[in-house]
């Protein structure tokens, strides 16, 4: 191997290593900070690694706030919203692509208009609307407004436009009803795409902060991110406990991310480049 190629590869590895370090170091900082004593964490001269890891910090942080309840709320919200988005997106995408009915074009434009209205622009009227419905601080208030997914409908439509129409025609000739054609012929084809979208939508819902913030203001109904921000405002200077609480919220997501990284990368690409 020529020397110039070796040198070039060394530079590639060096730069990538540096970038990975920049990504990973804050998480490492969180972990070691969570295990420090009160004295260690505010001492600028203390070594990076705690002299004696304080594992009890984690238990102490967990006992100071209802993390179990927040986990439960986040899971209910994450699972229900994701299942809703996938279902409505799959159904609408299929109908817009392969079923014929009057007004299809107009209805598709209505569905797409959801992409043009960023949620952040309408947070005030959204909270007033949910207030009028009596849905503040409820699960339906968290879940129902998030069920329609314009992006999901759009992506599934693209997908089904690329599937052969002959499959459905053949099934119809065999006497299959329209719902059967969808369930037995076309829906199974979308399985890989459902997997890629499911994980990315779930993580988005799991990490959603702004929406719960404007719909929920009780401790009982808070999601994990909200709870963590409240925890921080109550224990402002107990940095080790704050980092321990952050650790508790980060680790499960990190495990999911590592296990499902291929689907996540696929989902990100699907959402932005198609």
Cα–Cα distance, 80 to 72 (Å, whole number): 12
Q: Give the residue, chosen from 145, 167, 189, 198, that forms a contact with another protein under the rule CB under 8 A.
A: 145
Cα–Cα distance, 194 to 263 (Å, whole number): 10
Q: Which of 105, 86, 58 is nearest to 242 (CA)?
A: 58
Residues of span 110-129 touching another protein by CB under 8 A: 110-111, 113-114, 116-118, 120-129
Residues of span 5-34 touching another protein by CB under 8 A: 9, 12-13, 15-16, 19-20, 22-24, 26-27, 29-30, 33
Q: Give the residue, chosen from 7, 72, 75, 99, that forms a contact with another protein under the rule CB under 8 A.
A: 99
Cα–Cα distance, 91 to 186 (Å, whole number): 11
The structure tokens listed for 88 are 């409505």
Under the binding rule (CB under 8 A), the answer on residue 214 touching another protein is yes
CB 111 within 8 A of CB 150: yes
Under the binding rule (CB under 8 A), the answer on residue 83 touching another protein is no
The CB-of-217 to another protein minimum distance in angstroms stands at 9
Under the binding rule (CB under 8 A), the answer on residue 211 touching another protein is no
CB 40 within 8 A of CB 50: yes
The CB-of-209 to another protein minimum distance in angstroms stands at 5
Under the binding rule (CB under 8 A), the answer on residue 164 touching another protein is no
The structure tokens listed for 34 are 């969570």
Q: Give the residue, chosen from 2, 4, 105, 166, that forms a contact with another protein under the rule CB under 8 A.
A: 105
The CB-of-65 to another protein minimum distance in angstroms stands at 13
Under the binding rule (CB under 8 A), the answer on residue 70 touching another protein is no
Inter-axis angle of helices 191-207 and 261-273, nearest 10: 90
Q: Which of 213, 235, 93, 219 is nearest to 155 (CA)?
A: 93
Cα–Cα distance, 148 to 133 (Å, whole number): 18
Q: Give the residue, chosen from 7, 72, 170, 268, that forms a contact with another protein under the rule CB under 8 A.
A: 268
Q: Give the residue, chosen from 2, 102, 164, 188, that forms a contact with another protein under the rule CB under 8 A.
A: 102
Q: With CB under 8 A, what is the number of residues at the site for another protein?
A: 99
Under the binding rule (CB under 8 A), the answer on residue 92 touching another protein is yes
* Matching residue, tokens 């990190």: 254
The residue among 17 and 59 lying less far from another protein, judged by its C-beta, is: 17
Q: Give the residue, chosen from 72, 229, 234, 259, that forms a contact with another protein under the rule CB under 8 A.
A: 229
């Amino acid at each position: 191997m020529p020397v110039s190629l070796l040198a070039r590869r060394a530079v590639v590895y060096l730069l990538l290593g540096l970038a990975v370090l920049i990504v990973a170091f804050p998480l490492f900082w969180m972990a070691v900070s969570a295990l420090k004593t009160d004295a260690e964490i505010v001492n600028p001269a203390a070594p990076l690694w705690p002299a004696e890891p304080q594992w009890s910090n984690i238990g102490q942080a967990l006992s100071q706030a209802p993390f179990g309840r927040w986990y439960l709320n986040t899971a209910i919200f994450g699972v229900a919203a994701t299942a809703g988005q996938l279902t409505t997106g799959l159904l609408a995408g299929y109908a817009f692509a392969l079923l014929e009915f009057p007004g299809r074009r107009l209805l598709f434009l209505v569905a797409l208009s959801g992409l043009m209205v960023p949620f952040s622009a309408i947070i005030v009227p959204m909270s007033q609307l949910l207030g009028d419905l009596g849905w503040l601080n409820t699960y339906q208030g968290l879940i129902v407004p998030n069920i329609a997914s314009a992006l999901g409908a759009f992506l599934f439509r693209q997908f089904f436009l690329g599937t052969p129409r002959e499959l459905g025609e053949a099934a119809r000739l065999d006497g299959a009803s329209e719902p059967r054609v969808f369930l037995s012929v076309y829906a199974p084809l979308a399985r890989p795409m459902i997997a890629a979208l499911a994980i990315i939508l779930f993580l988005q819902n799991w990490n959603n902060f702004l929406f719960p913030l404007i719909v929920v203001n009780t401790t009982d109904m808070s999601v994990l991110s909200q709870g963590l921000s409240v925890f921080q405002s109550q224990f402002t200077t107990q940095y080790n406990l704050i980092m321990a609480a952050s650790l508790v919220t980060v680790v499960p997501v990190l495990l999911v991310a590592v296990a499902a990284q291929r689907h996540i990368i696929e989902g990100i690409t699907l959402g932005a480049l198609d």
